[in-house]
Structure 1
Amino acid sequence: MEELILRYGVILLFLGAGIEGEPFALAGGVLAHRHSLPVYGAVLAAIGGSCCIDQFWFHLSRYFSRTRIVRRVSERPAFQRAIELIESYPIRFVLLFRFAYGLRAVAPVAIGASRLPTWLFVPLNIVAAIVWGCLFTGLGYLAGPAFEQAEARYGKGIAIATVCLSVAVFVFVMRRGRPGK
């Protein structure tokens, strides 16, 4: 992944943050720490990718709800849970769904299918993407020295495995702290 990001820079980081999320934002932060990418470019790419993909899914669900892909997402078990949370806590849900790993994939589609107005979703989504992009790129930037030490001591493979394990632990801790778990 690092070689691809180095070659295609913030464009790949933008696409990766939108499609895959945290690993790309974290990698962007690590690469910014190494001065392989500009810090602000990495942050803006993570924010932009996250925001744009969620806008895409929201609008696809809102205006093209009969498409096969939207129907397939809406059949997932987490979709109904997302709808319930949107109806109960619309603003909090939009601001926090990026951090709810069980709902992350279905949330923008569910929001588009809900009664939440577009005029409210768009600014909330932008704010949430800014917080998310700054947080995960910043975590990657702060993890940069540890990644470099692990790479120097154990090689690149072990360093990447360490970062992946750290992300997995973070996800586990976040999921454990959610209400109802």
Structure 2
Amino acid sequence: MEDFLDHYGYIALTIGTFLEGETAILVASSLIHKGFFEGPYTVFFGFAGSFISDWLYYMIGRLNGKYFVEKRPKLKVKVAPVQRFFQHHKLQILISYRFLYGFRVIIPLIVGMSSIKPIQYLIYSIISGLIWATTISTVGYAVGRFLNVKTSVFEKNIVFIVIGFAIFGMLMGYIVKRLAFKKMSAED
């Protein structure tokens, strides 16, 4: 595991945040105090993976979003309430959507389909991405540091801790997603 992290840690972090987001950056930042990662690089590469993912979906929305959504009935059902909510809360969503687990595909897609210009989205994407990456990295670092200071459990059970972070991230994402969809449906 140490050799892999030494050689491919930041690449894995970038790919992980591209695909999943919180889980990858939480795990990486929890390992900063062990010397596997460095704080600024963890924030940067975590931000980079998320930024690339967001821009991929923004460009899909910009270039052919309506067709993309129409061809995916399950996505279409999810997009409609989010799109209505976005119309009334653009600024808040553009700054905070990365913290809304489960919406990182839908929201950039909707933003791409909206009147938000690429330069505007670039500015919001950089600001919100850096806030997100710094916040999540700080939380991961604090958890990793706490586990290291209080117990040696971290080293002995690294695999279980990584799995625990993943399960926790998915569970929190599911809960936030359900609550957000209920709120959006209630506003209709």
Q: TM-score, normalised by structure 1?
A: 0.81
* 8 Å contact kept, 1:25–1:133: yes
Asked if 1:151 is matched to 2:154, the reply is yes
Please give the alpha-carbon distance, in whole angstroms, between the structure 1 residues aligned to 2:41 and 2:123: 21
* 8 Å contact kept, 2:66–2:113: no
In structure 2, relative to structure 1, the CA distance for the partners of 1:113 and 1:74 (3 Å cut) is farther
Please give the alpha-carbon distance, in whole angstroms, between the structure 2 residues aligned to 1:140 and 1:3: 21
Q: Percent identity between the aligned chains?
A: 18
Deviation (angstroms), 1:31: 2.1
3-state SS, counterpart of residue 138 of structure 2:
helix
Kindly provide the amino acid, as one letter, of the partner of residue 162 in structure 2.
I
Segment of structure 1 superposing worse, 21-30 or 156-165: 156-165
Kindly provide the amino acid, as one letter, of the partner of residue 78 in structure 2.
A
* 8 Å contact kept, 1:29–1:140: yes
3-state SS, counterpart of residue 183 of structure 2:
coil
User: 2:51 is matched with which residue?
Assistant: 51
Deviation (angstroms), 1:15: 1.8
Deviation (angstroms), 1:114: 1.4
Please give the alpha-carbon distance, in whole angstroms, between the structure 1 residues aligned to 2:70 and 2:52: 17
Deviation (angstroms), 1:2: 7.7
User: 1:25 is matched with which residue?
Assistant: 25
Superposition RMSD on alpha carbons, in Å? Answer: 3.0
* 8 Å contact kept, 1:78–1:102: no
Instruction: Give structure 1 regions of 4+ aligned residues with deviation exceeding 6 angstroms.
Output: none
User: 1:128 is matched with which residue?
Assistant: 128
Q: TM-score, normalised by structure 2?
A: 0.78
In structure 2, relative to structure 1, the CA distance for the partners of 1:119 and 1:28 (3 Å cut) is same
In structure 2, relative to structure 1, the CA distance for the partners of 1:175 and 1:56 (3 Å cut) is closer
1:5-154 correspondence to structure 2 within 5 Å: 5-65=5-65, 68=68, 71-72=71-72, 75-148=75-148, 149=151, 150-152=153-155
| Structure 2 unaligned spans of 5+ | none
Please give the alpha-carbon distance, in whole angstroms, between the structure 2 residues aligned to 1:132 and 1:145: 20
Please give the alpha-carbon distance, in whole angstroms, between the structure 1 residues aligned to 2:17 and 2:119: 24
**How many residues are treated as equivalent by the alignment?**
180
Segment of structure 1 superposing worse, 38-47 or 70-79: 70-79
Segment of structure 1 superposing worse, 32-41 or 139-148: 139-148
Deviation (angstroms), 1:176: 7.7
Kindly provide the amino acid, as one letter, of the partner of residue 134 in structure 2.
C
In structure 2, relative to structure 1, the CA distance for the partners of 1:69 and 1:36 (3 Å cut) is farther
| Structure 1 unaligned spans of 5+ | none
